[in-house]
Chains A and B, each alone.
Chain A
Amino acid sequence: MGRWFISPWELRRRGVLGMNARNGAFIARYNPRRNYPLVDDKLQTKALALEAGIAVPELYGVIETQQQIKRLGKLLEGREDFVIKPAHGAGGDGILVITGRMGEGFRRANGKLMDLEGVAHHAANILSGMYSLGGQPDKAMIEYRVQFDPLFEKVSFQGVPDIRTVVYRGYPVMAMVRLPTREADGKANLHQGAVGAGVDMGTGETLRGVWHNRVIDQHPDTGAPISGIPIPDWSRLLRLAAHCYDLTDLGYLGVDVVLDRDQGPLILELNARPGLAIQIANDEGLAHRIAQVDQRLEALDQAEDAEARSRWAQERFARKD
């Protein structure tokens, strides 16, 4: 180690994708702007996924006007736990997770209590566009809180761990598990302080973790080892991710999947500008894998279906030790 930076030649050799290359060479090229609303509006994503028979967390209700906020109490009647999030949120901002009720109050994922007024204020903030891209007025979604699989229990602090897969032109190329930490306030976003763990594309087993751009082997809150956790149904999960490309036609796509204890993998959201930290978690750059997909597509006469794509990717990008 010793050095506090890495040379650009070394980065290139490792095939690391930089922000400029991601924006200029891939997002601008393969993600047509008109398709952005499909993923930026989580309501649309949800509808698309349901149409294609892909499982998503159940939608309890949508708040579109300030008037509806007044009826929030009624809307939430009988719901013990739920999630309120902005339909156009970015980077995990504005997501409120309620895990249970306590008399008049709601218990948040971090254990703090919140009264109905607080929940309503949060919804009002969402509607006024505080969390949306560009600040335009937004809608608030109330949906099923994922009962996450005990699989990652030891390596997450509250919140819901999710699995992010980068899908390039329909082929899943890299994946990581995002583990919430105390610092991230139960959220699974790396730049908010969550831990990212690389995933072996072949077996679905977790690799080392990365936290604040540093490599770690144990979860910072629980101390449990991060690597070696097998994700069940890995092939199915990859197929699901590959399928999302068909829904959105975005060539550079991030697919966020959560594992529900009862319902199995659910698509949480799609992202047209997935971050680059996944490369650190996997200790490998994206560029080489992307190049292999490009080669594959050039060699093919006709497009493959999601099943074939994910199978090829699983085999090709398996970790060879």
Chain B
Amino acid sequence: MKRFHLTLLVMALLITSLSVVYYKVTVLGFPLQPAQTVDNWVVEARVAFEPTGGAVTAQLVLPDNPPGYGILDENFISRGYGLTTARRGENREAHWTTRSASGRQVLYYRATVYELNRNGHDDAPYPGPVTVPDYGEPYHSAAMALLDDVRERSADITSFASVLVSELNAPTPSENAALFVQRDASDTDKVATTISLLAGARIPARMVHGITLTDWAREASPVTWLEVHNTREWIPINPHNGTTGYPNNFLLWWHGDTQPLNLERATSPQISFAVTRNIHDAIDVAEQRAQLMDSKLVEFSLFGLPVQTQNMYRVLLMVPVGALIIVLLRNIVGIQTFGTFMPVLIALSFRETQLLGGVVLFTLIVSLGLAIRFYMEHLKLLLVPRLAAVVIVVVMLMAAISILSHNLGIEQGLTLALFPMVILAMTIERMSIVWEEHSPQDAIKQGLGSLAVAAVSYLFMINRQLEHLIFVFPELLLIVLALTLLLGRYTGYRLTELVRFKALGKA
């Protein structure tokens, strides 16, 4: 029963921990590797115009849930203007208004977008078949003939549209198609023609405009694209050759055959788009994303703490890992140490001194301290004053070593100040008792054991990958807890016992 209980508890801990980690990795996009970065794009629309007097209104279309991208952050730079955003039709728009303005006006809209998933499509519901327009003769018969021809060469809505587009773009279009092709038509006109022809086959289609995200594009011109609804989602189609899909790094900005900028009481409108690439720490992006998704999980996380406190927890959260190592080395391997968790504290101070320096300094201090402690034995002091005396001596020794090494130009000696001196004093005291009561060999053995355990836990605790994982996913500590609980029920032999009991083997 008890065994079952523990198993359940361990399973619960493991499942909780792993599912939170899974959620944070897949949904919020927290990075599993340290120093992972993601691409961010800062896109900017610059609007300029000349007011003609009176209250000015400027309407700018804004990107709204662009397929494949997420908007992290957006802001408007428009001093002296009232700002509202509203939906109109399929688009989201910013309305800038001001009562009086004079001179050339410049307004900015700036958004930070990140790539969400490459092949995202707009899965808005099917708007239903459209009514067939009246093209007027001779266009109507030509359109019907063209559509019949295309229908014979296609399988479904998407391929129908593809074939139609490539037909219209053929170098030598068929007679029927040629009627609809104008040599010098703009992209917008081409797409409009295609949409109206598709309507002849009752296929809903629309025009979209977007910009291509390329690094340092000061003047990104909007690209016009075609979309047809295949009854499940809007499929993007290249209006030049009929292939499906958006161009690479295409940020969809607005829908329909409208101008991006509409002005009232203003002239000479000008709009330009600019793109900059921004490399962000993946953690920041994930955090912002979580905020947008209103995820409580991240709101109440370590990232919400001040940076200094965060850095402290980066270290503190590694202590459980060190504790687990201690459990392994003591209960499974069977190494003896002074004090149960003294090695973890020593390992923490190794972070500052580095391994070799730490080991040397530790050995130095403890040996010197031991010598002085043996001398004090002759003075026959009471326990607490003697411990205090050892602490005082240890501090003085540390200072002396720091000064000496500094003068010798060994900067590592300076980090000594971070050694936990009280722990050192206790170690010296315990070691001297073992030395006298048991044997010097025992004392040295346990001292080396402590040092070895400290070194091993240090190596685990400075592992960057591990530190990153534990800090970004503190719920992993539940796994550490689960493992510790499991080890708490280990009643098998320790490795050192295999040597200790070797006399029981057949002689």
Q: Tell me how far the C-beta of A223 lies from the nearest C-beta in chain B, rounded to whole angstroms.
A: 20
A23-39 CB contacts (< 8 Å) to partner B: 24-25
- In the bound assembly, the distance between CA atoms of A11 and B384 in angstroms comes to 45
Complex contact A16–B501 (CB within 8 A): yes
On whether the beta carbons of A3 and B505 are closer than 8 Å, the reply is yes
User: Could you tell me the distance in whole angstroms from the C-beta of A196 to the nearest C-beta in chain B?
Assistant: 11
Q: Which chain A positions have C-beta within 8 A of B491?
A: 18, 20-21, 24-25
Question: Does B382 have its Cβ within 8 Å of any Cβ on chain A?
Answer: yes
In the complex, which residues of chain B have a beta carbon less than 8 angstroms from the beta carbon of A18?
A: 491-494, 497
How many inter-chain residue pairs (CB < 8 Å) link A and B?
97
Q: How far is the CA of A217 from the CA of B500 in the complex (A)?
A: 18
Chain A residues within 8 Å of B437, by CB? 93-94, 131, 192
Decide: A16 and B489 in contact? CB cutoff 8 A. no
Contact A6–B439 (Cβ < 8 Å): no
Contact assessment for B382 and A128 in the assembled complex, using a CB-CB cutoff below 8 Å: yes
CA distance A193 to B439 in the complex (A): 9
Number of interface residues of A (CB under 8 A): 42
Beta-carbon contacts under 8 Å, B401-447 to A: 433, 437-439, 442
Give Cα distance in the complex from A10 to B503, angstroms. 12
A20 touches B492 (CB 8 A): yes
Task: Assess the A4–B499 pair: CB atoms within 8 A.
Answer: yes
Chain B residue numbers with a CB within 8 Å of A10 are 504-505
| Residue from A118, A192, A285 in contact with B439 in the complex, judged by beta carbons closer than 8 Å | A192
Whether the Cβ atoms of A214 and B499 lie closer than 8 Å is no
* Chain B residue at minimum C-beta to C-beta distance from A23: B491
Q: What string of 1s and 0s marks CB contacts (under 8 Å) between B479-494 and chain A?
A: 0000000001111111
Interface membership of B380, Cβ < 8 A = yes
> Are A128 and B502 in contact (CB-based, < 8 A)?
no
A14 at the B interface (CB under 8 A)? yes
> Cβ of B68 < 8 Å from any Cβ of A?
no
Would you list which residues of chain A between 265 and 294 have a CB under 8 Å from chain B? 279-280, 283-285
CB-CB under 8 A for A280 and B501, given A18-B493, A24-B490: yes
B504 touches A283 (CB 8 A): yes
Check if A215 sits within 8 Å of B490, measured CB to CB: no
- B388 to chain A minimum Cβ distance, whole angstroms, is 12
Does B185 sit within 8 A of A, measured CB to CB? no
Q: How far is the CB of B399 from chain A (nearest CB, A)?
A: 28
Closest to B505 in A: A6
Contact with B along A88-108 (1 / 0, CB 8 A): 000001100000000000000
A70 within 8 A of B: no
A128 to B433, CA, bound (A): 14
Given contacts A24-B491, A128-B383, 17 further A-B contacts (CB under 8 A): A5-B502, A8-B498, A11-B497, A11-B498, A16-B504, A18-B497, A19-B334, A21-B493, A66-B382, A124-B380, A183-B439, A191-B438, A192-B438, A215-B503, A279-B504, A283-B503, A284-B504
Q: List 10 A-B contacts (CB under 8 A).
A: A16-B497, A20-B491, A21-B492, A24-B488, A93-B437, A128-B382, A193-B439, A213-B501, A214-B503, A280-B504
Q: Which 7 A-B pairs have the closest CB atoms?
A: A128-B383, A121-B380, A18-B493, A21-B491, A6-B505, A5-B498, A24-B491
